[in-house]
Amino acid sequence: MHENIELLLPTLFSSFFMATYKDSGVDISKGDRASQSAYHYAKKTFSSRKGLKGTPLIQDGGFAGAIDMGEYYMLNCCDGVGTKIDIAIETQNFTGLGFDLLAMTVDDAICSGSEVISITNTFDTNSVNPDEIEEMMKSLCNACIQEKVVIPGGEIAELGNTLNKTIWNSSAVGIVEKEKFITGENIEEGDHVIALQETGFRSNGFSLIRHILKEKNISFHDAYDEKNTWGEMLLTPSKIYHAGLLNILGRFDEKRKIDVKGIVHVTGGGLAGNFFRILKSKKLGASLPNIFPMPEIMNILQKLGNVTDEEAYKTWNGGNGMLIVCGKNESEELLQLLKKENISAQLAGKINTSGKIEHGNFGAFSDEKMITFI
């Protein structure tokens, strides 16, 4: 931990304060109910394509929607940068925000093994700022070139008093051969779980971050260490795993180098909440004693806000951007392939039949989101 942070912490901890995501204005339980309702009505539209090309697959818990195109599946998903954009606007630093936007969609799509070919994006804003939009689009352009993704279109909507800020969202389209489609259905007891490291927050949990810093009167312009401000540290761009994983899983019409049974993108809902999305049997769980530790900045914010381990791991990625499940005999080769792609990875644990996700000393998370610490 940096020296100036260590000197600052006693003063900041002097008054009792316990932060939760709900305190910051985000109620995960309401979000879950809304998502269930939205998906219920979305599925009602599926029958309208019966007998036509483009029949959707029902994938409860999937990270992207799959549509049957005959010889292959087309994947659709959408997301945004959330309130991370508020920090970028306040500090006028948009360099990495396009990488965040792209990561949120392409790393959802790659969970099924699909290659994203295009992304569209929308700006909803109270007042158009051409300079800010240019910087954001420049960042997105750089990220898309890196991942071999095109931007065929987008929308800028000036909404006046309806909004008091700018919102940036995107939708991605991907494709994958049917025989390479990853569902999680073949995951079984004894399979190995590989963790992929993430050193930043990606685009999740920023309402809680901003709430903590506001309560402690810390500005995004204040020094975090001798080289960086809080704003600069918080705007660390998301790692994008999509292209690196495609070099292992194979782009469209390329052979797969190794069999992968399931991929988890650790975003909203945290490590355990997202892991359960790929476990098709209620009996399955995982013991993960060797996940990557929380990055220093997450530890500091957790202490500043007196955030419980339960809350922290439900809100942030905890240093683990993705998790991959493979057979126990494939894990060593997979780790070597990931290393060649410059993706920091390690064996995190194994699949078991506990029905819970247990990670280290942090707790056991059940599918019903009941948590008991061990």
Range of the domain at 327: 3-34+52-372
Bridging pattern class, strands 166-177 and 65-68: unpaired
46 found inside a domain: no
Token pair, residue 244, equals 């690196």
**CATH at residue 189:** 3.90.650.10
Would 40 be classed as within a structural domain?
A: no
The answer to whether position 122 is within a domain reads yes
Which range has the worst mean pLDDT, 41-45, 154-158, 165-169, 313-317?
41-45
Q: Strands 345-352 and 285-287: what pairing? A: antiparallel
* Model confidence pLDDT, tens digit, residues 46-88: 888 888 899 998 887 789 999 999 999 999 999 999 999 999 9
Q: Residue 128 has which token pair?
A: 């158009």
- Integer-rounded Cα radius of gyration of the chain: 21
Q: Please say whether the beta carbons of 112 and 264 come within 8 A.
A: no
Q: Is 208 part of any domain?
A: yes
Alpha-helical (H) ranges within 45-160 are 84-91, 97-109, 130-147
Contact (Cβ atoms closer than 8 angstroms) between residue 260 and residue 113 = yes
Within-domain flag for 307: yes
**Which of 365, 146, 372, 137 lies closest to 269 in space, CA to CA?**
365
What pLDDT score does 160 carry?
94
Query: Using one digit for the tens of pLDDT, what is the confidence trace for 233-264?
Result: 999 999 999 999 999 999 999 999 999 999 99
Residue range 97-112: average pLDDT? Answer: 98
- Are 150 and 102 in contact by the 8 Å Cβ rule? The answer is no
Q: What is the pLDDT of residues 266-285, one digit of tens each?
A: 998 899 999 999 998 889 99
Asked whether the predicted pLDDT for residue 135 surpasses 70, the reply is yes
pLDDT at 143 over 50: yes
Residue whose tokens read 């644990």 = 349
- Residue 29 pLDDT greater than 50, yes or no: yes
Q: Is the pLDDT of residue 371 over 50?
A: no
Residue 125, phi-psi category: left (phi > 0), alpha (psi -120 to 50), beta (remainder):
beta
In three-state secondary structure terms, 168 is strand
* Mean pLDDT of the 94-102 span: 98
Mean pLDDT of the chain: 90
Q: Measured between alpha carbons, how far is 361 from 374 in angstroms, rounded to an integer? A: 6
Q: Per-residue pLDDT averaged across 27-41, rounded?
A: 75
The total domain count for the chain is 1
The answer to whether 345 and 197 are in contact (CB under 8 A) is: yes
306 close to 216: Cβ distance less than 8 angstroms: no
Assess if residue 44 is contained within a domain: no
- Residue 41 included in any domain: no
Q: Is residue 45 part of a domain?
A: no
Q: What is the model's pLDDT at position 58?
A: 82
pLDDT score at 349: 97
- d(CA 361, CA 367) in angstroms, rounded, equals 18
Contacts of 314 (CB under 8 A, 6+ apart): 21, 28, 269, 270, 272, 273
pLDDT at residue 24 in the model? 63
